[in-house]
Amino acid sequence: MRFVNPIPFVRDINRSKEFYEERLGLTVLEDFGTFVLFASGFAIHEGRSLEQTVWRSEPVSTERYGRRNLLLYFEHDDVDAAFERIAPHVELIHPVERQAWGQRVFRFYDPDGHAIEVGEPQNLASLDKPD
């Protein structure tokens, strides 16, 4: 067995697909209407249809799917450039800051309230760690 990836539920698949394409620069590999797979392996699924498939019941909640219990992690070689491009268009959690382990990251919410972290690659973080 091997873990593949989490699949966040989204309310509006087209809005979320556009968000991940336009804001994060991801490339759609497959678009099945209610399920979108990006070339990086990340995927999103329209929540209403997935709730019916998995739990065999109609969704009853209209709350945002993001519940502050999951962090979607992405890396970018130039975290400052990514921040400049993304920050004006999202609800920021915080700007670029160095974490205790030495990596520089920033965090924000996607349209469904899922927390997203964009960080420099870990190998870059280890080179920049203070001695």
Q: Tell me whether residue 79 is in a domain.
A: yes
Q: Tell me whether residue 1 is in a domain.
A: no
The average pLDDT across 76-80 equals 97
The average pLDDT across 91-116 equals 97
Q: Tell me whether residue 31 is in a domain.
A: yes
Q: Tell me whether residue 73 is in a domain.
A: yes
CATH of the domain at 53: 3.10.180.10
Structural domain total, the chain? 1
Q: Tell me whether residue 4 is in a domain.
A: no
pLDDT at 128 over 70: no
Q: Tell me whether residue 63 is in a domain.
A: yes
Average pLDDT, the chain: 92
pLDDT at 114 over 60: yes
Q: Tell me whether residue 29 is in a domain.
A: yes
For residue range 6-40, list pLDDT tens digits in order.
Answer: 999 999 999 999 999 999 999 999 999 999 999 99
Long-range contacts: 103-111, Cβ < 8 Å, 24+? 104/79, 104/128, 105/79, 106/79, 106/82, 107/71, 109/66, 110/8, 110/10, 110/16, 110/19, 110/20, 110/66, 110/72, 111/10, 111/11, 111/12, 111/15, 111/16, 111/19
Q: Tell me whether residue 69 is in a domain.
A: yes
What pLDDT is attached to residue 126? 58
State the residue range of the domain holding 36: 9-128
